[in-house]
Amino acid sequence: MAERMGPSPHYSRKYSPRARAMDYLISAFTLRTEGSVPRRALQQTSAAYAQQSLDTHNYYRSRHQSTAPLRWSSTLEADAQAWANRCVFEHANNGATGQGENLAWGYSDAKSAIDAYYSEGAGYAYGVSQPADWYSVGHFTQVVWRSTTDLGCAVATCNGGQQFHVCRYYPPGNYVGEYAENVLPPIWH
């Protein structure tokens, strides 16, 4: 199996001024206390959140050549919910779980979080085996990764009222040397 880029399809915020600024903003809203629990349940129903997550992912995937829609996985949803309930903004060791992962903190709903993931693709260089700056496009590439077939997302409202969104993907994306065949250009490209 090819080597994955980093522990999961997130990007390190240490490599650009924009990323460092975002890290500051995220840390201002993040409680890093292990074992924190959600303060209250999300108002949107689980079914509505799941549908919005799936619809938004599939909308973006439909904009790319030969990229099939994802299926909802209740197993991935349960894994994502367990991780979100921790209220700790850090990635899981997804090498051990065999799942890809995208995280977002502070967005009001699933669509807003997924829109942010996809927005990283604005300057993506299609056709390369590995992006030059993977850390700035890793959320985007996981959303549209062609060989990913299953999705499960969940959210927890944590201390301070901030929402912590977690999406899990199977099979995971972001493998070194596999970008050209898995991150395909938009249909209008």
Cis peptide before 69, with omega less than 30 degrees from 0? no
Query: In this predicted structure, what is the pLDDT of residue 142?
Result: 98
- Alpha carbon distance 156, 83 (integer Å): 9
**Which domains, and CATH codes, for the chain?**
46-181 (3.40.33.10)
Return per-residue pLDDT of the chain as tens, 189 residues. Answer: 455 544 333 333 333 334 333 333 333 233 333 334 443 444 468 999 999 999 999 999 999 999 999 999 999 999 999 999 999 999 997 667 899 999 999 999 999 999 999 999 998 999 999 999 988 999 999 999 999 999 999 999 998 899 999 999 999 999 999 999 999 999 985
Residue written as token pair 């990007």 = 11
The dihedral formed by the CA atoms of 148, 4, 137 and 132, expressed in degrees to the nearest 10 = -130
